[in-house]
Every structure is written in structure tokens, then in C-alpha cells.
Amino acid sequence: MNIGLTGGIACGKSTVSSMLVRRGAILIDADRLAREVVEPGAPALAEVVRVFGQAVLMEDGTLNRQELGKLVFGSEEKRKELEGILHPPIRKLMLERMAEYERSAPDKLVVVDVPLLYESELEELFQEVLVVYVPPELQLIRLMERNGLSQEEASKRIQAQMPIEWKKEWADHVIDNSGLPEETEEQVDRFWKRKGLA
Ligand code: ADP
């Protein structure tokens, strides 16, 4: 059984995925897969270099993310081009990993943490989607605190994503992480039991 886990930035995806892992779930982290597909030797890295130039490589042959970020910054077209290179291999790797775990651990819950699940239209890949929710005002405060950002910087990052309220509407399951961690744990317990995972 698998679920996609998402939510807005700083809503508590990592917090909730750790709670699920402590109960025995297997975690696949989409951000990690995104790094794997551009490791030295990977075809997607060669393609990124072909399109964006040698300047996106460090001396040791690894991707210079900062430089690449600068090159696509502010250009919708370049960002789309980059996504066109990276998204297909990330998606492929995600499906491969999910299939591997389905085979090796069929009775475990496989949780796939995908921050931009809805933005990237990936909901079809998962049996169900779980959204970790906090109201936007709290999301802003938690993001400012965690990343040491000003209100303006934090707002900008939040506004670059789809509104958390929409994600909550679309979800199969919602975990409200606006209370104490114990209250979130209780909801995770309820979710776990409802899925027959107890
Ligand atoms: P995400 O993975 O969605 O970006 P995190 O799990 O990192 O979010 O949580 C964002 C921040 O909020 C972190 O600093 C985390 O410690 C804090 N946090 C998460 N859940 C709670 C909670 N229930 N109460 C207080 N702080 C929380």
C-alpha cells in the first residue's frame, strides 16, 4: 500500500513522515530522488549541461545548484525547460522504488514525501494522498522561525506554491498539524488504525 504525502512548505511533512516511519512505514523522499537523478554520470545531468552550459558543473563534476538556480531564476521558460529534463527521470525512479518496496515489503505502508505533488500533477501515482495542513498564518510563522526568514521572504516562498487550502480540499486524508505534536501523533495513530496497519 502506498500514499503520497504532501502539504505546503513548513506545514509539517517531515514531522509527520517521521511519525509514520516510527510506526513502521517505509519512506521515499522525492527531494532525495531529485538529487539522485543529477549525480555524476546520470543522463539527466549530461542533458542539463548540454542545455545550460558547463558553468552548471563544479570542478569535481557535481551539479552547481546555485549557478543553475541563477540561470533559471525569473524565467518561466527556462524553469519549464529544466523541469522537462528532470521530472521524467524523477518520476521513473519514484515508480521503480515504489514497485521494489511493493515486492519486498507488500504489507508495509510506503510513504512518498512529495512537496510539490499537486503542482507537478503527480496524484495519479499514488493510491491515496495525505495532506499535512496548518492554516496559512501559522505556516508563515513556522517558516520564518525554521528558516530564519523575514515575513516578506517567507511569504514569497509560500506564494510560489499552490495554496494549502486547495491541497486540503483535494486530499484523501488531512492531518491538521496546528496543535501540539501530541495532537498530531493522535491523528497519525487514527490514520494508521483506519488503514488497518495497527
Ligand atoms: P515541512 O517538512 O512540511 O517543510 P517541518 O516538518 O520541517 O515541515 O515543520 C516545519 C517547522 O515547524 C519545523 O521547524 C518543525 O520543528 C515545526 N513544527 C512541526 N510541527 C509542529 C508542531 N505540531 N508544533 C510546533 N512546531 C512544529
What pLDDT, in 10s, does the model give residues 12-55? 999 999 999 999 999 999 999 999 999 999 999 999 999 999 99
Cβ pair 177, 132 in contact under 8 A: yes
Q: Which residues pair with 110 in a beta bridge?
A: 2, 26
Distance 58 CA to ligand 1 centre (A): 33
Residue 103 identity: R
Question: How many residues are listed for the chain in this entry?
Answer: 198
CA–CA separation, 129 and 120 (whole Å):
14
Domains, the chain, in order of start with CATH, read: 1-25+109-198 (3.40.50.300), 32-107 (3.40.50.300)
| Pocket of ligand 1 contains residue 11 by CB under 6 Å | yes
Tens digit of pLDDT for each residue in 61-100?
A: 999 999 999 999 889 999 999 999 999 999 999 999 999 9
Cβ pair 85, 49 in contact under 8 A: no
Tens digit of pLDDT for each residue in 165-189?
A: 999 999 999 999 999 999 999 999 9
Closest CA to 111 of 177, 22, 186, 10: 22
pTM exceeding 0.75 = yes
In this structure, the number of other CB atoms found within 10 A of the CB of residue 94 comes to 20
Cβ pair 37, 93 in contact under 8 A: yes
**For atom 5 of ligand 1, which residue has the closest CA?**
12
Collapsing DSSP to helix, strand or coil, 109 comes out as coil
With the most atoms of ligand 1 within 8 angstroms of its CB, the residue from 5, 6, 14, 185 to mutate is 14
The three cell numbers of residue 45 are 545531468
